[in-house]
């Protein structure tokens, strides 16, 4: 059974550009969360989606947006990229928010975004 799949694995963008990152959760998982991890820091919560609805939002600017599709896959969009957006973007899936507390997240390997 496939784990959490993220694409692309690496990406280089120029300041001011837009980027779309994609995530496919584990089969049967309906909740997807996005995290940003800057080198040397822990993951920072960006969004959580469950059943296509936003269930949680972290302290990130409106340049960050996301959505979840009927097949439970998800996209994270970042507009007007800044140098400080360079990070590893992690997608995590779980059966549901309440089951996340029991079983934990399953993370993908992430997308390494570099903004130049």
Partner 1 sequence: SQKIEQNSEALNIQEGKTATLTCNYTNYSPAYLQWYRQDPGRGPVFLLLIRENEKEKRKERLKVTFDTTLKQSLFHITASQPADSATYLCALDITNTGNQFYFGTGTSLTVIP
In whole angstroms, how far apart are CA 110 and each of 5, 51, 98, 102, 115? Answer: 8, 22, 24, 23, 16
Count CB-CB contacts under 10 A for residue 93. Answer: 26
Q: Which stretch binds partner 1 (CB under 8 A): 15-23, 40-48, 63-71, 73-81?
A: 40-48
Q: What six digits make up the tokens of 102?
A: 């029991």
Among 12, 82, 103, 116, binds partner 1 (CB under 8 A): 103
Among 21, 32, 48, 68, binds partner 1 (CB under 8 A): 48
Binding footprint of partner 1 on the chain (CB under 8 A): 4, 31, 33, 35, 40-45, 48, 50, 55-56, 58, 90, 92, 94, 96-110
């Amino acid at each position: 059974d496939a784990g959490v799949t993220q694409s692309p694995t690496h990406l280089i963008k120029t300041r001011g550009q837009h980027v779309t990152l994609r995530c496919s959760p584990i089969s049967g998982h309906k909740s997807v969360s996005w995290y940003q991890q800057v080198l040397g820091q822990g993951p920072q919560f960006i969004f959580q989606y469950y059943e296509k609805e936003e269930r949680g939002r972290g302290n990130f600017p409106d340049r960050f947006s996301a959505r979840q599709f009927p097949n439970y896959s998800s996209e994270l969009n970042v507009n007007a990229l800044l140098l400080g957006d360079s990070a590893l973007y992690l997608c995590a899936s779980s059966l549901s928010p309440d089951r996340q507390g029991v079983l934990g997240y399953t993370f993908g390997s992430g997308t390494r975004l570099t903004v130049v």
